[in-house]
A and B are shown apart, each in its own frame.
Chain A
Amino acid sequence: KQEVTQIPAALSVPEGENLVLNCSFTDSAIYNLQWFRQDPGKGLTSLLLIQSSQREQTSGRLNASLDKSSGRSTLYIAASQPGDSATYLCAVKGGFQKLVFGTGTRLLVSP
């Protein structure tokens, strides 16, 4: 059964710092991995999707990498801003259609 873990559970940084969020999964037989952002009481906003054949994806200040064989992904946020404060979720898609989510990393960027 696929298990997804995210470390750290919470992170507090001053504005302008570069930071890395980690995601690990137990079963490397995945089709893709998706990173989401969740604001309190709100839905999930898709940030990046990495196919299993890819090593990384970039969107603006965000860069996600995938090492499928070791069961790891990282989300790199450059020059963090207070507006980046949210919970970041990673989710992997395995055998069929469902996404299996991690517990999330709660990020607070202070001005």
Chain B
Amino acid sequence: EPEVTQTPSHQVTQMGQEVILRCVPISNHLYFYWYRQILGQKVEFLVSFYNNEISEKSEIFDDQFSVERPDGSNFTLKIRSTKLEDSAMYFCASSEFSRAGRDTQYFGPGTRLTVL
């Protein structure tokens, strides 16, 4: 069964460094998402992406964050200058459609980001 994959599974970085988290969505999906989950807290939406542009973003997704689909298969989340509070599990998700019908969001296994 097709699945969303993410790399790396765990990333440790120093505060102020840039990190890029990578995702390979399910191949025929058109909508891509990033969520994060700080330890012990709810899963929170960051951004959705369709047709090579951001379609929705949360207030968390400020200028420090960016997303890109550099080729036909990868979807990346970049954090320009990491802060301690960016430490979280970051999940990538994808869906075939956005509205009624086949819009189940399928999640990857996550990247645990630790900022020291």
Contact = CB atoms under 8 A, between A and B. Distances in A.
Interface string A71-106: 000000000000000000101010011111111100
Contacts of B110: 42-43
Secondary structure of the A contact surface, majority rule: strand
Given A97-B33, A97-B56, A44 B91 contact: yes
A67 B42 CA distance: 23
Interface string A8-38: 0000000000000000000000011010100
A58 interface: no
A49 interface: yes
Interface size class of B (residues with CB under 8 A): 20 to 34
Contacts of B93: 44
Given A49-B103, A98-B58, 4 more contacts: A44-B107, A89-B43, A96-B55, A97-B31
Interface of A: 31-32, 34, 36, 41-46, 49, 51, 53, 89, 91, 93, 96-104
